[in-house]
Amino acid sequence: MKNKTSIQGSWASRWIFILAATGSAVGLGNIWKFPYITGENGGGAFVLVYLACILMVGIPIMMAEVFIGRRARKNPINALADVAEESESTKKWGVIGLMGMLSGVLIFSFYSVVGGWVLHYIKVMLTGEMIGVTSDAAGSAFGALLADPATLLGWHTLFSIMSIAVVAAGINKGIETATRIMMPALFVLLIILLGYAMTTGGFAQGWNFMFEFDFSKLTWNAALVALGHSFFTLSLGMGTIMAYGSYMTKDASIGKTVLAIGGLDTLVALVAGLAIFPIIFSNGMDPAAGPGLMFISLPVAFGQMAFGQLFGVLFFVLIGVAAWTSAISLLEPTVAFLVERLKIKRITAAVGLGIIVWGLGIACLGSFSFMSDVTFFGKNTFDFFDYITANIMLPLGGIFIALFAGWVVKDKFAQDELQLPSAVFKLWNISMKYTAPIAVAIVLYFLINPMQ
């Protein structure tokens, strides 16, 4: 293909791509969602299925997304169309990118609300108002925050502006600069917090909870949650990694790079679990507390512990940083598309899209108050956006990307980008053609027709 670089620019090095993609991958999914869905789904067996999904489905699909993006060096819709055309297929494959952009918009809307909760809790930790509170008091404080749309709106607006500003500044000045500063900070904070958790006395219990594989607790629904989460956590199935891949230099090895990203994301999720569950157990709290796990149990725990205020602030700053670098990446594919297709300025595209996702976010934050009566299939807007994206749209996007990479793209073009040893290429190809699509299809089938 003729494009040597994207008109949006390209990353300064292979490491910047790894860090930027890791910044996208590591987010609320790892630190907020993973621990609470592990708690809700019984721990160990869920973790094992999750790890299998990452390795057998997530990593191969991530390779496909990166190579499609890098080959075409365009936004996901046009990248899919161009790569299809090169393999003498129809440009209509671009619609997968369109569905991906819709997923990004829906995810951003609730993501930014949770990002807002995190900002609020940085403030709460700083002021020390949670020191010495009981679980009940922390629960009511979180409930009161959810019931207060004005406060939520303020934080959601701030988080949206922070994200839009970085995207508006562009690949190099915006995303790359943010990556260079925030990713090292994130790793340092995580290591400090893990060390802290090891001193709490609940570490063995936390470890056993995550790694004792009890399959009697595994249900089809848990398998679906694990599979869906493997897409969500790696930012797959919606074109984000494809867009980031389109800014990647040609000389870097896609296989190794993707393994590094997938490995780092998994490591952060496991470490986050190992930092959070010990704190929960050592304070006698319930691991299955749901979305409030982090916002109720942890403040109580920090409020009782030595240096709890300091570590509490650090913890919520860590989550804020992680959420921020992911939120940016939710907007990037659509912004790139708007810039390339409508030939408008990046700042115009970013602000325009920003207004839309900010508005949808208001429906999400209102789910806990003035819009609590509005439900879709029995779920409020916030839960519904989370459910259809993570459990349905991302896995479906993933199936189509896999089928596309396996059946439509000619092997010689895929291999031209991937440059894998031939045995590894065969494995990858089998995953694209069969393993990944069939795994996703089976799990979705059993979700729709539960087996009793």
**Region near ligand PFF per CB under 6 A, out of 24-32, 67-75, 176-184, 246-254:** 24-32
User: How many whole angstroms separate alpha carbon 82 and alpha carbon 149?
Assistant: 44
Residue whose structure tokens are 């999750």: 50
Q: Which of 259, 206, 268 is nearest to 233 (CA)?
A: 268
Choose from ligand PFF, Na ion, none: what does 119 bind? Cβ within 5-8 Å by kind.
Answer: none
Choose from ligand PFF, Na ion, none: what does 94 bind? Cβ within 5-8 Å by kind.
Answer: none
Upper half-sphere CA count for residue 191 (Cβ side, 13 Å): 5
**Region near ligand PFF per CB under 6 A, out of 19-27, 189-197, 283-291, 337-345:** 19-27
With binding defined as CB under 5 A, does residue 230 bind Na ion?
no
Answer positive or negative: Cα dihedral of 257, 262, 263, 267.
positive
Nearer to ligand PFF, 160 or 329 (CB): 329
With binding defined as CB under 6 A, does residue 235 bind ligand PFF?
yes
DSSP state of 43: S
With binding defined as CB under 6 A, does residue 330 bind ligand PFF?
yes
Choose from ligand PFF, Na ion, none: what does 24 bind? Cβ within 5-8 Å by kind.
Answer: ligand PFF
Structure token pair of residue 414 = 């895929």
Among 10, 78, 233, 282, binds Na ion (CB under 5 A): 233
With binding defined as CB under 6 A, does residue 166 bind ligand PFF?
no
User: How many whole angstroms separate alpha carbon 430 and alpha carbon 413?
Assistant: 16
Nearer to ligand PFF, 6 or 163 (CB): 163
With binding defined as CB under 6 A, does residue 108 bind ligand PFF?
no
Phi, psi of 351 (to 5 degrees): -70, -40
Among 6, 8, 10, 30, binds Na ion (CB under 5 A): 30
With binding defined as CB under 5 A, does residue 339 bind Na ion?
no
The H or E element that residue 376 is part of is: strand 375-376
With binding defined as CB under 6 A, does residue 75 bind ligand PFF?
no
Q: Are 163 and 331 in contact (CB under 8 A)?
A: yes
Among 16, 19, 25, 349, binds Na ion (CB under 5 A): 25
Strand partners, 379: 376
**Region near Na ion per CB under 5 A, out of 78-86, 163-171, 228-236, 390-398:** 228-236
Phi, psi of 164 (to 5 degrees): -65, -40
**Region near ligand PFF per CB under 6 A, out of 155-163, 230-238, 287-295, 301-309:** 230-238
Residue whose structure tokens are 């390339």: 340
Strand partners, 376: 379
With binding defined as CB under 5 A, does residue 29 bind Na ion?
yes
Closest approach of Na ion to the CB of residue 169, in Å: 23
Nearest residue to Na ion by CB is 233
The interface with ligand PFF within residues 240-259 (CB under 6 A) comprises 240
From the number of C-beta atoms within 10 Å of its C-beta (0-12, 13-18, 19+), residue 350 rates as: buried
> Three-state DSSP class for 51?
helix
Strand partners, 380: 375
How many Cβ atoms sit within 10 Å of the Cβ of residue 263? 13
With binding defined as CB under 6 A, does residue 107 bind ligand PFF?
yes
With binding defined as CB under 6 A, does residue 326 bind ligand PFF?
yes
Phi, psi of 250 (to 5 degrees): -70, -30
Q: Alpha carbon of 375 to those of 146, 367, 371, 383: distances in Å?
A: 17, 9, 9, 9
**Region near Na ion per CB under 5 A, out of 68-76, 232-240, 291-299, 397-405:** 232-240
Nearer to ligand PFF, 326 or 367 (CB): 326
Q: Are 270 and 260 in contact (CB under 8 A)?
A: no
With binding defined as CB under 6 A, does residue 314 bind ligand PFF?
no
> Three-state DSSP class for 208?
helix
Choose from Na ion, ligand PFF, none: what does 43 bind? Cβ within 5-8 Å by kind.
Answer: none
Among 238, 339, 353, 447, binds ligand PFF (CB under 6 A): 238
Nearest residue to ligand PFF by CB is 29
| Residues in touch with ligand PFF (CB under 6 A) | 24-25, 27-30, 104, 107, 232-233, 235, 238, 240, 326, 329-330
| Residues in touch with Na ion (CB under 5 A) | 25, 29-30, 233, 265
